[in-house]
Structure 1
Amino acid sequence: MATEIKVPTLGESVTEATIGELLKSVGDSVAVDEPIVSLETDKVAVEAPSPVAGVIKEFKVAVGDTVEVGAVLAIVEEGAAAAKSSDEPKAEAKAPDAGVEKAAPAQAKEATTAKETATSDSSQTLSPAVRRAVLEHGVDPSTIKGTGRDGRLTKEDVIAAAQSKKDGAKGDTPAPAPASSAPAAAATGERREERVKMTRMRQTIAKRLKGAQDNAALLTTFNDCDMSAVIEAREKYKDLFAKKHDIKLGFMGFFAKAACLALKDVPSVNAYIEGDEIVYHDYVDISVAVSAPNGLVVPVIRDAQDKGFARIEKDIADFGKRAKDGTLTMDDMKGGTFTISNGGVFGSLMSTPIINPPQSAVLGLHRIEDRPVVVDGEIVIRPMMYIALSYDHRLIDGREAVTALKIIKEAIEDPTRMLIDL
């Protein structure tokens, strides 16, 4: 019996998606709940799984197509997978291969190594489809040269590497590779251009950020803060903290808690405009900007005002890992009343971050560097960080923005304030 695989519900207000990648081919076997198509939405990449086990009979879409919720993606023939798998042992029985049996332990070891590499490799970002291909074919992604944009690995790169490895194991002599045209192009001084279609997420990011500039009265106020106290606290308690909570004590936990203090005292910074009304919140849902393969995403730490440092640090670490793996969900991105963006991890000294609509403010963090400052009439060297608060001047006055940023500065320079709510 044939079963239609349809576009699943994508989340609140999301009605369509773009086909990012076909994770299977026609004729491939699929198990129940195994993903067959990767979909790019306005916010995250999601996968469409098969509700039945069988063999893919037909794809109704192609990469790059725009599809709506409920549209048919593919046709799966139920039961064909079982029939196919039952035939395989017979074929093996007719033509046993002692060499294969002998090589099995080595292949198992290679597959285990590939699995560990795919799980722990942080030098490159692997999409879910690529990660799955690495595990299935038992190859080391660090040894494969990516042909995707910015040198990223594609599923085809992994399959080609696996096939090459297989041919080498059989003793086949690989055909000589065609001469590369790149040296010739370089020799003649030829210049090239590449046109790549924007992903749906990148298009949405562009529209939202431009919309923020067009619709909001954006302004940024700056301050700097002495990071000595926070650095000292981290050095003093990092081992105990990690031992008790099984997570590293980072800077974001301090800034998240400092922001909660500021937003409590200056509620307009935690509000937004909706029509001709101002929506205030008695809770703080902090959107944390993290990098994903297709662009910047902002998962949300819910009720940050009620969470301790350990829970906040664990949430942030989980978001970062899932952003790289491409497993963030629509619910992870939903909502948010205030945003923190840390450009310092990339080396930024100072910036004017853009608000994340419909929010009215965003805190920008930057790199820490030793600078000469005057303390009690003397010039001393201190680890300093510039902090920036961009805000919608339609709702937030300059006095309120400066006050909020000053509260954050004072809490960072004297972390005891966070304990006694000052």
Structure 2
Amino acid sequence: MSTEVRVPTLGESVTEATVATWFKKPGDSVSVDEMLCELETDKVTVEVPAPAAGTLGEIVAEEGATVGVDALLATISEGAAKAGGDAGKAEAADAPAEEADKADKAPAAAVSEGGDGESIDVMVPTLGESVSEATVATWFKQEGDSVKQDEMLCELETDKVSVEVPAPATGVLTEILKPEGETVEAGGKLASMSSGGGAAAKPQAKAAAEEAEKPAASRDGKDVEDAPSAKKLMEEKGLTPDDVTGTGRDGRIMKEDVMKAAEQPKAKPAEAPAPAAKQAPRAPSPAEDAEREERVKMTRLRQTIARRLKDAQNTAAMLTTYNEVDMTATMDLRSEYKDLFEKKHGVKLGFMSFFTKACCHALKEVPEVNAEIDGTDVVYKNFVHMGIAVGTPNGLVVPIVRDADQMSFAAIEKKINELGKKARDGKLSMAEMQGGTFTISNGGVYGSLMSSPILNPPQSGILGMHKIQQRPMVVDGQIVARPMMYLALSYDHRIVDGKGAVTFLVRVKEALEDPRRLLMDL
């Protein structure tokens, strides 16, 4: 029996695609959901998984062919065809060599090839919309290492996210084609593996080496991978994991942990007064200054942040308007219900849900702040996909809370917590950072009193939150201390007029100073 492999749904308004890469050839065995080929549209890259296990038969649409939705790509022969076809091919290809010196080479084949083992390509996964290449950041396995299916082999860095590459099957990593630091394209080949009996035989051959490595791995009692950026930095600084105290999840060593550990040895020479006194009379030469400098290549994420922020300044007519909000009512409401809220919903009641709801409320009245410019058109969004800026060790990322205007306080808090955790662990997907219509940035968590946030293109507005500070205010003719926060709205003056920007900020202020307005839609 054969199964048809057809073009999946390509997305809204997309009717055709181009066959970019076939990862399997006719006669290759495939398992359920194993990636067969990759299609490219004018918007996204689409992977086509195997609908059933078996042997890949005829490829109907070759690489470069244009296909429509539900078009036939190939066929898969199920059942006995899989085992028989692959075994027949392997026996036919290996027969001359095996007959030449069968007795001597049989044991070697059992160790290196596993007898029934087959070669498996480790490919670059889909990197996300508009991302065509990545840099190999870290290999967690070396050639000859045994690996289990779905065990992490390496990590790739794109200009937006880090992508982990798992092992497609259990076996032995035979060859690394793309070393660390090399640039790879989506769908490219990273390495080769052999599967089958070789995977079982390899640990015996490497037992001594693995035993030697175990003490180093167990010294800290860790069974988790440290952050790739931390590993690279430890190599540059000449540090070992024993020299660094990890503050990440389960004791994972993060980049900032390595920076702290690297600074400690530098402080010791400064304590010795004699050398400092000798060098004090003369100024250091440029060459001596150069020796004390450190040059580190910018990550792809940092390069993208720099480019996008500069593009925002160059493209948009950016302007910022300010206001201040008395947080008394919001803080009182939060204090009154936070315990009951957490008990019922299993999540803490923070300020972000109040600000998110207040912004959604204001965006309904001033829709141009939730719009974007496309050429000579203005695209108004009848929904709110709220971007929440999150600072991570690798840089600023903006995950999206989709349809925030339709969500409750509890749903917003849960989603923000989920996305924040993924951001700090570097687990955000491309889909979770695309499509935002408005952004909130909270510099107050770092102590910022006032700042002008930069737009996140193509959005037309971003709200900056700041530190809550007790300040003297005049209330009913009396000077009283109130918890005040400065708010800043940066907006694109090409689409948002000053009246609209000020109105938006005033509505946010009113909603926070009297949260009951949110319930009554006032």
* TM-score tier after normalising by the smaller chain length: 0.7 to 0.9
Q: Larger % of helix: which?
A: 1
Q: Secondary structure in 2 aligned to 1:9?
A: coil
Asked whether the 8 Å contact 2:136–2:156 carries over to 1, the reply is: yes
Q: 1:180 to 1:147 in 2, by over 3 A?
A: farther
Q: Which residue of 2 aligns with 1:13?
A: 130
Shift of residue 64 of structure 1? 2.1
Q: Secondary structure in 1 aligned to 2:245?
A: helix
Shift of residue 236 of structure 1? 0.4
Q: Which residue of 2 aligns with 1:299?
A: 399
TM-score by length of 2: 0.65
1:81 aligns with 2:199: yes
Q: 1:143 to 1:225 in 2, by over 3 A?
A: closer
Q: Secondary structure in 1 aligned to 2:501?
A: helix
Question: Separation in 1 of the partners of 2:497 and 2:371?
Answer: 13
* Residues 228-237 or 77-86, more deviating: 77-86
List runs of 5+ in structure 1 lacking aligned partners: 92-99, 120-125, 132-137, 158-178
Residue number among 418, 430, 438 corresponding to 1:318 in the alignment? 418
Q: 1:129 to 1:370 in 2, by over 3 A?
A: closer
Question: Separation in 2 of the partners of 1:281 and 1:407?
Answer: 19
* Residues 138-147 or 193-202, more deviating: 138-147
* Residues 227-236 or 313-322, more deviating: 313-322
1:152 aligns with 2:258: yes
Q: Which residue of 2 aligns with 1:166?
A: none
Residue number among 134, 146, 156 corresponding to 1:29 in the alignment? 146
Question: Separation in 2 of the partners of 1:212 and 1:377?
Answer: 44
Question: Separation in 2 of the partners of 1:184 and 1:402?
Answer: 52
Asked whether the 8 Å contact 1:127–1:326 carries over to 2, the reply is: no
Residue number among 261, 267, 280 corresponding to 2:367 in the alignment? 267
Asked whether the 8 Å contact 1:146–1:153 carries over to 2, the reply is: no
Residue number among 446, 470, 476 corresponding to 1:370 in the alignment? 470
Question: Separation in 1 of the partners of 2:447 and 2:158?
Answer: 30
Asked whether the 8 Å contact 1:291–1:320 carries over to 2, the reply is: no
Q: 1:417 to 1:146 in 2, by over 3 A?
A: closer
List runs of 5+ in structure 2 lacking aligned partners: 1-117, 209-213, 232-240, 280-287
1:258 aligns with 2:358: yes
1:396 aligns with 2:486: no
Residue by residue over 1:4-48, the C-alpha shift from the partner in whole angstroms, topping out at 9 and shown as x without a partner, is: 211111111111111121122222221112221111112111111
Give 1:47's aligned amino acid.
E
Residue by residue over 1:95-143, the C-alpha shift from the partner in whole angstroms, topping out at 9 and shown as x without a partner, is: xxxxx9xx9xxx79x84xx46xx79xxxxxx527979xxxxxx989637
RMSD of aligned residue pairs (Cα, Å): 3.3
1:335 aligns with 2:435: yes
Residue number among 273, 276, 279 corresponding to 2:379 in the alignment? 279
Question: Separation in 2 of the partners of 1:369 and 1:348?
Answer: 10
Q: 1:86 to 1:345 in 2, by over 3 A?
A: same
Question: Separation in 2 of the partners of 1:147 and 1:83?
Answer: 33
Q: 1:399 to 1:73 in 2, by over 3 A?
A: same
Residue number among 68, 71, 74 corresponding to 2:185 in the alignment? 68
Q: Secondary structure in 1 aligned to 2:137?
A: strand
Q: 1:140 to 1:182 in 2, by over 3 A?
A: closer
Q: Which residue of 2 aligns with 1:59?
A: 176
Q: Secondary structure in 2 aligned to 1:152?
A: helix
Question: Separation in 2 of the partners of 1:245 and 1:148?
Answer: 31
Q: 1:204 to 1:418 in 2, by over 3 A?
A: same
Q: Which residue of 1 aligns with 2:33?
A: none
TM-score by length of 1: 0.80
Q: 1:418 to 1:77 in 2, by over 3 A?
A: same
Q: Secondary structure in 1 aligned to 2:466?
A: strand
Greater C-alpha radius of gyration: 2
Q: 1:287 to 1:248 in 2, by over 3 A?
A: same
Shift of residue 183 of structure 1? 3.1
Residue number among 312, 325, 332 corresponding to 1:212 in the alignment? 312
Give 1:142's aligned amino acid.
T
Residue by residue over 1:325-366, the C-alpha shift from the partner in whole angstroms, topping out at 9 and shown as x without a partner, is: 111111111110000000000000000000100101000000
Shift of residue 184 of structure 1? 9.1
Q: Which residue of 2 aligns with 1:163?
A: none
Q: Which residue of 2 aligns with 1:346?
A: 446
Q: Which residue of 2 aligns with 1:39?
A: 156
Residue by residue over 1:64-102, the C-alpha shift from the partner in whole angstroms, topping out at 9 and shown as x without a partner, is: 22211011111112233222246689x9xxxxxxxx9xx
Q: 1:228 to 1:180 in 2, by over 3 A?
A: closer
1:199 aligns with 2:299: yes
Corresponding pairs, count: 370
Percent identity between matched residues is 54
Asked whether the 8 Å contact 1:220–1:388 carries over to 2, the reply is: yes
Q: 1:277 to 1:77 in 2, by over 3 A?
A: same
Give 2:439's aligned amino acid.
T
Question: Separation in 1 of the partners of 2:356 and 2:505?
Answer: 13
Shift of residue 182 of structure 1? 7.4
Question: Separation in 1 of the partners of 2:244 and 2:410?
Answer: 33
Output aligned runs, 1:240-255, within 5 Å: 240-255=340-355
Q: 1:198 to 1:368 in 2, by over 3 A?
A: same
Question: Separation in 2 of the partners of 1:151 and 1:194?
Answer: 17
